[in-house]
Amino acid sequence: MNFSVVVNQFWPLLINGLAVGLIYVLISLGYTMVYGVLRLINFANSEIFMVGTFATVIVTRDIFKYTSAHEALHGFKLVATLLLILIASMLFSGVTAVLVELVAYRRLRSKGTNRLASLISAIGTSIMISEGVRILTKSAPVPTPRLLTKFNLISIGGVDIRIDTFLVIVSAALIFFMVDRFVTKTLLGKAIRAVSMSEETSKLMGVNLNRVISATFLIGGLVTGAAAFLYMQVYETTVFNVGFNLGLAAFTAAVLGGIGNIRGAFYGGLTLGLFEQYASAIIGGQWKAVTVFSVLVLVLLFKPNGLFGEAIQQSRV
Amino acid sequence: MRLEVKDLRVQYGKIEAIKGISFTVEQGEIVTLIGANGAGKTTTLKTISGLRAVASGSITYNGEDISKVPAHERVNLGISQAPEGRGIFPGMTVLENLEIGKYSRKDRKNEMAEDLEKVYHLFPRLKERINQAGGTLSGGEQQMLAIGRALMARPNVLLLDEPSMGLAPMMIQNIFNIITSINKELGTTILLVEQNAQQALQRAHRAYVLETGKIVKEAKASDLLNDPAVRAAYLGTGAEKGHH
């Protein structure tokens, strides 16, 4: 136990906690939005994230032909390249999510099967994707070429904020804000919220349920893909089961904020990211996974509707 | 507009809820289905709007059999429903509830302002509450919102499921006055399902009496209002005269 670290390292831990937390926020949207419309956990979301990380590698390495020895990019070229890789990763994850819905959920739903059946089929699809990637990569970690020279961007009160951390915090917050606006302001967003409140009444409004469910998976997948891209800019290596721990943390964040609640996911992700940073600084990094699971178990035991419950129901999906 | 239900049967698993009923709704009419709890009134409406599957028989709308058309496409045809229990989206504001009522309309952008005005004219109370969450409205206000939302789709026929349920007598009068004016002023055809037979029969042109999934009586509404058997079964006592 080392409590003095919280005082000494308060600001660096805060910055890291925000960055990690915001990645959790984006992945947890994939869980929370799907839960909103289907009342089912999308267990394949961790694999949708994994696909996004590999998409980042493949596009950077094989399409843009960058290698680690490559000269650093600057200015407009750097921004444009990063943006293109971001969009590609989002699309890969988004399309994967839509396919998962078609394979694991839609057929069973149209037959009116027990809801638990789709839960099992989602887990099955998830195992299939991750095992497939395991065989293709021979279980080896795969690095992505570094595009972003890591330098300290700004220094506030003796705390250095590195460019990649800065990129994560700003882009993730921006993407979250866009999703929130989309869901509250657009017609499709309103239809997604309507379905989450009542399937039957939504149909009476003329809402095509299958289309809205597909759109929800697509948006959840796009956002999870963006998280995968940002993750890769910081950690630079992926592996077939990279989604497992991150997926569980993001799921915990979603439960913490009240699953089905978009703004809840935001607070849940940030809370978990910060808690994890400070807790592992105090009790040691090897306990990180334990802290995440403890949070999940405690929330489910004492506040199963999440810390923010129905208080922010307006944003409920 | 013409709606015709013919030999309709609807099942829940092995239980037959609707046992071969036939009725028609003609352009400009208010037609009511009255009956006790569990008679099959709500099931009938849900089957017309496509939320329940037809076991056998047909639902014909303007001469076309629509019994296989998915629910979300029937709104486009001009069939709109204010469901039982009102079905307000609780986390959405009054305005958002009304906006989503226009979901099925292709030309929604151009129609929106005009139709919102039309709904506010019928229900001034809703205009005062546009930014309030639907779930925080009183029962009467929610019923107004449910009817207003159904009107946003510019229906030819409006299906109303127990609009008086759980409301105070004053509010019931108010709601039924508005239903009458929707029919008279907007020319919207109405199929009304009610347990409050007194009000329903006073407002409707024709009526059908539903008992355990079968139609046992059909007549002009005013005739049923004076029918001793109907009075005894659905209007409290047979001797007492209903208030007006």
Q: Domain locations in chain B?
A: 2-85+156-234
Element (H, E) at A160: strand A159-162
The predicted structure's pLDDT at residue B234 = 87
Residues of A in contact with B149 (CB under 8 A): 205
Residue with tokens 């599957």: B53
User: Residue B222 corresponds to which tokens in the numbers above?
Assistant: 């005013």
**A204 contact B CB<8A:** yes
Size of interface A-B (CB pairs under 8 A): 72
> Helical H runs in chain A?
4-8, 10-38, 45-58, 75-100, 107-110, 115-137, 163-185, 187-197, 199-204, 209-235, 242-257, 262-283, 288-302
Q: Are A208 and B72 an interchain contact pair (Cβ–Cβ within 8 Å)?
A: yes
- What percentage of chain A reaches a pLDDT higher than 70? 97
**148-167 in chain A: CB under 8 A from chain B:** none
Quick one: which of B61, B63, B50 has its CA closest to B10? B50
CA-based Rg of chain A, rounded to a whole angstrom? 19
Q: Are A201 and B91 an interchain contact pair (Cβ–Cβ within 8 Å)?
A: no
Residue with tokens 């127990």: B162
Cα Dmax for chain B? 54
* In this structure, CATH architecture of domain A4-147+156-315: Orthogonal Bundle (1.10)
- What percentage of chain B reaches a pLDDT higher than 90? 91
Quick one: which of A238, A181, A307, A201 has its CA closest to A59? A238
> Helical H runs in chain B?
41-49, 71-77, 94-100, 108-122, 124-128, 139-151, 169-185, 197-203, 221-225, 228-234
> Model confidence over B165-219: pLDDT tens digits?
999 999 999 999 999 999 999 999 999 999 999 999 999 999 999 999 999 999 9
- Asked if residue A273 lies in contact with residue A21, where contact means CB atoms within 8 angstroms, the answer is yes
The predicted structure's pLDDT at residue B238 = 45
DSSP string covering A125-144: HHHHHHHHHHHHHTT--EE-
> Model confidence over B95-106: pLDDT tens digits?
999 999 999 999
> Model confidence over B71-126: pLDDT tens digits?
999 999 999 999 999 999 999 999 999 999 999 999 999 999 999 999 999 999 99
> What is the rounded distance in angstroms from the CA atom of residue A164 to the CA atom of residue A287?
25
User: Residue B183 corresponds to which tokens in the numbers above?
Assistant: 């029919």
> What is the rounded distance in angstroms from the CA atom of residue A317 to the CA atom of residue A252?
17
The predicted structure's pLDDT at residue B59 = 98
Residue with tokens 């539903």: B210
User: Residue B29 corresponds to which tokens in the numbers above?
Assistant: 């009419």
Taking the CA of residue A16 and the nearest CA in chain B, the distance in Å comes to: 34
- Taking 70 as the threshold, does the pLDDT of residue A131 lie above it? yes
CA distances from A243 to A122, A126, A268 (A): 15, 10, 18
- Which chain A residue has its CA at the smallest distance from B45's CA? A204
The predicted structure's pLDDT at residue B242 = 44
Give the phi and the psi of residue A187 in degrees, each rounded to 5. -65, -45
As a whole number, the mean pLDDT across chain B is 94
- Asked if residue A166 lies in contact with residue A210, where contact means CB atoms within 8 angstroms, the answer is no
Q: Are B51 and A314 an interchain contact pair (Cβ–Cβ within 8 Å)?
A: no
Indicate the pLDDT class of residue B241, thresholds 50, 70 and 90: very low
> What is the rounded distance in angstroms from the CA atom of residue A214 to the CA atom of residue A192?
10
Q: Are B103 and A313 an interchain contact pair (Cβ–Cβ within 8 Å)?
A: no
Indicate the pLDDT class of residue A307, thresholds 50, 70 and 90: confident
User: What average pLDDT does this structure show over A32-48?
Assistant: 93
- Taking 70 as the threshold, does the pLDDT of residue B34 lie above it? yes
Q: Are A206 and B103 an interchain contact pair (Cβ–Cβ within 8 Å)?
A: yes
Q: Domain locations in chain A?
A: 4-147+156-315
The CATH code belonging to domain B2-85+156-234 is 3.40.50.300
- Taking 60 as the threshold, does the pLDDT of residue A110 lie above it? yes
Indicate the pLDDT class of residue A229, thresholds 50, 70 and 90: very high
Residue B8 CB contacts under 8 Å (≥ 6 apart), including other chains: B18, B20, B21, B22, B44, B47, B54, B56, B57, B58, B59
**A187 contact B CB<8A:** yes
- Which chain B residue has its CA at the smallest distance from A314's CA? B91
Residue B144 CB contacts under 8 Å (≥ 6 apart), including other chains: B122, B123, B125, B126, B175, B178
Give the phi and the psi of residue A2 in degrees, each rounded to 5. -140, 90
Indicate the pLDDT class of residue B9, thresholds 50, 70 and 90: very high
- Taking 70 as the threshold, does the pLDDT of residue A316 lie above it? no
Top mean-pLDDT range of A16-25, A60-69, A291-300: A16-25
- Taking 50 as the threshold, does the pLDDT of residue A314 lie above it? no
**A193 contact B CB<8A:** yes
- Asked if residue B50 lies in contact with residue B31, where contact means CB atoms within 8 angstroms, the answer is no
Q: Are B99 and A203 an interchain contact pair (Cβ–Cβ within 8 Å)?
A: no
Indicate the pLDDT class of residue A311, thresholds 50, 70 and 90: very low
Residues of B in contact with A204 (CB under 8 A): 49, 51, 71, 75, 80-81, 83, 87, 150
- Taking 80 as the threshold, does the pLDDT of residue A73 lie above it? no
The predicted structure's pLDDT at residue A309 = 61
